[in-house]
Structure 1
Amino acid sequence: MIQLSEFLAPRPEPMWTLIKQAGVNNVIATLNGGEQDQRMFASVGKNGFGLDESGLVPWSEAALKRDMNIFADHGMKVIGLEDTAPMDKVRLGLPGRDEQIENIITQIKAMGNLGLPTLCYNWMALTSWARTDTDVVIRGGALVTGFRLSDSKDMPPLVEPGEVTDEQMWDALQYFLDAVVPVAEEAGVRLGMHPNDPPYPIIRNLPRLMRSAEAFRRLRAMRPSPSNAITFCQGNFALMGDEDLPTLIREFGVDGIAFVHFRDVIGTATDFRETFHDEGKTDLPECMRAYAEIGFAGPMRPDHVPTMHGETNARPGYETLGRLFAIGYIRGVEQAAFGRPAVT
């Protein structure tokens, strides 16, 4: 069976109770003041969260242990992280990257010591997931995020044209993998590279490296190891247009897939919107059957859910009611594919 999880910051809120009532106790956490904690809503025009004021470095073992205890006090267990120390100098191959890599190594070692086996990271420099609309109206008046390439041209550039190249970022990735994969192997941590979101070659003058299935094949070949793996974000892989998702799941297998974002979209990489799980372009039950076939037993979570009636859309893609709908859908197709677990 999968490890059905939710994506939460270590700051308690009433939603945690509802997630537990829906049957989910596993957490994939952000760092309190980590890169994605600061960046993920800023990238769609929302304010980020405040920095950790405790005096602890967010990616240190002491901070991670504190965060795990916060969740444990609410009956929840952290099984992985989807956040890192800042690493833009690493992604771009800039001076100062060695210091940033040392911070990532500190985090990986701490995760190993604390029994956290999964770390999701990305190669999206200077930004996070990109959207041009955060209130696209879908069925029943629910709101989702969307992206249209033509609208992104009005967004300010991240770098000057030609300042950063694909190969510069590939070289930087090789340097990173050579430094951290051996540490991850020793610590028992699997790194899961997340696709660029959206998987389009260049946005705001900055290359989007992880944009195709072939890019992930290249990633895996650069440093072959179970610790050099993939976060299989289904929405992004569906937008790549390379192959159907169940085929890719079976190709990458359990050695290649460390973590799954179980989600769907409608459209193409240049013009798409998020969806409810039961109305997207992908055969999600067949995806789940593929996970069962390969014996996947790692963490899986919903992502980018609709904002539903009565919610504010202050956190587009991450409000409460859409998560509960998604959890129920995923649990249903999971039991259809893997079988119903024994009741204890």
Structure 2
Amino acid sequence: MATEGSEPLPSRAELPMRVGAGQFMDPTSERLRYVKQLGGSDVLLNMYQVDDPDYEHMPDDERVPLSGEDAWSVDALRDLRERVEAEGLRLNAIENVPVSYYEDVMLGGPERDGQLGRLKETIRNMGEAGIPIFGYHWAPAGVWRTGWETARGGAEVSVFDADAADADELTHGREYSEAELWENYEYFLDEILPVAEQAGVTLALHPSDPPMERLGGVPQLFRNFENFKRAMTYRESDYHGLDLCLGCWSEMGEPLDEVVRYFGERDEIVYVHFRDVSGTVPRFSEDFLDEGNYDEYALLQLLDEVDFSGLMIPDHTPHLEDDTDWEHRGRAFTVGYIRGMLRAMRSDQSR
């Protein structure tokens, strides 16, 4: 729904493969205008820190803490969407809510059913507010990096090195088995997917990052091709698919062409984090998109070949000279690079 005085936005079903930006929480007019200036069409909001008691991301000082007992209200979510649309963009998804929001769901803890109830209410409210995608992960230990290295021209890139990670130090009090994590995940899907289907909200699963076998005593369930196949076939639904993080898949060392073809032909790629790394686990660095493991143009062509028509955003990017914490300069490079590849591909196709 467009706000008063703006042009109506087409439905997602009418849209082509396209580029946007994300991984921020507060959709200020300045940040949204910047995305628009880069040529982006959509944004994703990453809400992993909104349980910070000092953070106010809603108007009129309305605090909506995800660590509290209540889910986001429909009005608050609708306001987020309308703030984005007022700048001529689409709010494509909310992703990466705090681990604390559903940690007991992932680990089978005592607050599991209460946290599931809050997740269900959030998804219902997202549907009513017109936000179509809920991106999530299944990694209680979170994202791990071990430092920074210098890349071309002195840019800084993040690094994971298992030898420096203290990966065996328990993060959740004990060792968890893979069977436990699968049991908890399947229970989650049994409970959440019917709600998402009814609400018209698509769930998008992000890989474990880094895709080690385990970290902190907790299995990294979504670390390989076979485990993703199991997740997608356990309970098949038009409302469940992949947040295809190409960087994480590159970290795995899996055959990316086979991955894209398999899930693309099943119409299970919901949106794409378009980044790359150099190296694979147990050690990799998050380098510039044109210096990583895979052929980025060939992957873009393959996404088009399998009729992917969703959003692509820069994921983690190098930190460039005079950059901000959001790496707005690094993201500008990546957005421009992807838009250039798209333009070249469309030009080749029209000849």
Matches of residues 2-151 of structure 1 in structure 2 within 5 Å?
A: 2-7=17-22, 8-12=24-28, 14-31=30-47, 36-38=48-50, 50=55, 54-56=62-64, 59-84=72-97, 86-125=101-140, 127-133=141-147, 135-151=148-164
- State the 1:255 CA deviation: 1.9
**Any gaps of 5 or more consecutive residues in structure 2?**
1-15, 67-71
Q: Distance in 2 between matches of 1:107 and 1:140?
A: 44
Q: Distance in 1 between matches of 2:167 and 2:187?
A: 34
Q: Distance in 1 between matches of 2:83 and 2:204?
A: 25
**Any gaps of 5 or more consecutive residues in structure 1?**
40-46
Q: Percent identity?
A: 32
Query: 2:9 matched to which residue of 1?
Result: none
Query: 2:329 matched to which residue of 1?
Result: 321
CA 15–309 in structure 1, closer or farther in 2 if over 3 Å, else same: farther
Once the two structures are superposed, residues 201-223 of structure 1 have per-residue CA deviations (whole angstroms, 9 ceiling, x without a partner) of 11122211110011100101111
1:251 aligns with 2:262: yes
TM-score, normalising length: structure 1: 0.87
CA contact (8 A) 2:167 2:215 kept: no
TM-score, normalising length: structure 2: 0.85
Higher mean alpha-carbon deviation, 188-197 vs 78-87, is at 78-87
Q: Distance in 2 between matches of 1:116 and 1:269?
A: 35
CA 191–154 in structure 1, closer or farther in 2 if over 3 Å, else same: closer
- State the 1:83 CA deviation: 3.1
Once the two structures are superposed, residues 289-331 of structure 1 have per-residue CA deviations (whole angstroms, 9 ceiling, x without a partner) of 111111111121111011101225xx3xx31100000001111
- State the 1:57 CA deviation: 5.3
CA contact (8 A) 1:6 1:24 kept: yes
Q: Distance in 2 between matches of 1:340 and 1:65?
A: 40
- State the 1:161 CA deviation: 4.7
Residue type at the aligned position of 2:223: R
Other structure's SS at 1:289 match: helix
Once the two structures are superposed, residues 254-294 of structure 1 have per-residue CA deviations (whole angstroms, 9 ceiling, x without a partner) of 52111111110001111100011111111111111111111
Other structure's SS at 1:87 match: helix
Higher mean alpha-carbon deviation, 113-122 vs 286-295, is at 113-122
Query: 1:43 matched to which residue of 2?
Result: none
CA contact (8 A) 2:169 2:217 kept: no
Q: Distance in 2 between matches of 1:48 and 1:280?
A: 39
Query: 2:287 matched to which residue of 1?
Result: 275
- State the 1:108 CA deviation: 1.4
Other structure's SS at 1:225 match: coil
Query: 1:334 matched to which residue of 2?
Result: 342
Residue type at the aligned position of 1:5: G
CA contact (8 A) 1:10 1:71 kept: no
- State the 1:156 CA deviation: 5.4
